[in-house]
């Protein structure tokens, strides 16, 4: 089974400052078709998860451009260039290269 | 726009079978080559994939739950379903249905208790 390890577990951030979340996979996430099926989800309190980024770095429809994804192989990063109040929540990385697994989550909160 | 809605009992007794249905509106299984899945989230904890069913009916399950899970597609009703047998308190969670990880239902809380 693929294990996704997210760091940090919690990220207190000042409004307007950047935030960065790391996701490390126990195996390469490059699929045999050449794609890397690593996505990022945001879950606001009391809400279902929402897709932000798919295939490592493609923003989903309607996602603000302050969110960006990068990485390759086994190491991936989600960055928020300037955190806004509405960004508070838990962020999960997820992979669909080998079945489906989720990282443990990173809680983004305002300092 | 695609919408998904979970339905089913909110309370299940230990050792019994949990059954949920996801109704999809705004789209059709027969015209889209997606996979449809169930994910759960124990209160205050992270997400756990339960399993998925492809548009052609093929299924894939989380190895840790595989012996207890059945996911089925009901194309004519635009629904897919989850059955989880022999439940315990550890199966208490919010259960979400989703199209891949793109579109999600609002989730339904299922509590396992006598």
Encode pLDDT of B36-84 as tens digits. Answer: 999 999 999 999 999 999 988 899 999 999 999 999 999 889 999 999 9
Nearest residue of B to residue A3, measured between CA atoms: B48
Mean pLDDT across chain B, nearest whole number? 94
Measured between alpha carbons, how far is A94 from B49 in angstroms, rounded to an integer?
10
User: Quick check: B101 and A1 CB within 8 A?
Assistant: no
3-state SS assignment for residue B89: helix
Residues β-bridged to residue B46: none
> What pLDDT was estimated at residue B75?
87
Chain B contact probe: residue of A45, A93, A100 with most B CBs at under 10 A: A100
> What pLDDT was estimated at residue B73?
92
Give the burial class of A77: count Cβ atoms within 10 A of its Cβ; 0-12 exposed, 13-18 middle, 19 or more buried. middle
Q: How far is B61 from chain A (nearest CA, A)?
A: 8
Which residues in chain A have their CB less than 8 angstroms from residue B107's CB?
48
Residue A16 has pLDDT above 90, yes or no: yes
DSSP conformational letter for B64: T
Give the burial class of A81: count Cβ atoms within 10 A of its Cβ; 0-12 exposed, 13-18 middle, 19 or more buried. middle
- Spell out the residues 6+ positions from residue B88 whose beta carbon is closer than 8 angstroms to its own: B14, B15, B112
> What pLDDT was estimated at residue B1?
82
DSSP conformational letter for A87: G
User: Quick check: A50 and B107 CB within 8 A?
Assistant: no
Q: Is A83:A91 a contact under the CB 8 Å cutoff?
A: no
> What pLDDT was estimated at residue A44?
97
Give the burial class of A69: count Cβ atoms within 10 A of its Cβ; 0-12 exposed, 13-18 middle, 19 or more buried. buried
What percent of chain B clears pLDDT 90, i.e. is strictly above it? Answer: 86
Residue B30 has pLDDT above 70, yes or no: no
Which residues in chain B have their CB less than 8 angstroms from residue A100's CB?
37, 49, 52, 62, 101
Say if B96 is an interface residue toward chain A (CB within 8 Å): yes
Encode pLDDT of A21-80 as tens digits. Answer: 999 999 999 999 999 999 999 999 999 999 999 999 999 999 999 999 999 999 999 999
> What pLDDT was estimated at residue B100?
93
């Amino acid at each position: 089974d693929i294990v996704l390890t997210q760091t940090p577990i919690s990220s207190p951030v000042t409004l307007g400052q950047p935030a960065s979340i790391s996701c490390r996979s126990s195996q390469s996430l490059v699929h045999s078709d050449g794609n890397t099926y690593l996505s990022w989800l945001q879950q606001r309190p009391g809400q279902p998860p929402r897709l932000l980024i798919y295939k490592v770095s493609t923003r989903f429809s309607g996602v603000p451009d302050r969110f960006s994804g990068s990485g390759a192989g086994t190491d991936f990063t989600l960055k928020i260039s300037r955190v806004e109040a509405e960004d508070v929540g838990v962020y999960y990385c997820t992979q669909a290269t080998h079945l489906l697994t989720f990282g443990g989550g990173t809680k983004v909160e305002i300092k | 726009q695609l919408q998904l809605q979970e339905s089913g009992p909110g309370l299940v007794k230990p050792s019994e079978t949990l059954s949920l249905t996801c109704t999809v509106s705004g789209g059709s299984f027969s015209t889209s080559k997606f996979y449809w899945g169930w994910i759960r989230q124990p209160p205050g904890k992270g997400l756990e994939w339960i399993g998925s069913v492809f548009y052609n009916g093929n299924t894939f399950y989380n190895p840790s739950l595989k012996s207890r899970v059945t996911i089925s597609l009901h194309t004519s009703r635009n629904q897919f379903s989850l059955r989880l047998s022999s439940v315990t308190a550890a199966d208490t969670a919010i259960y979400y249905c989703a199209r891949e990880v793109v579109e999600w239902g609002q989730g339904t809380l299922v509590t396992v208790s006598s």
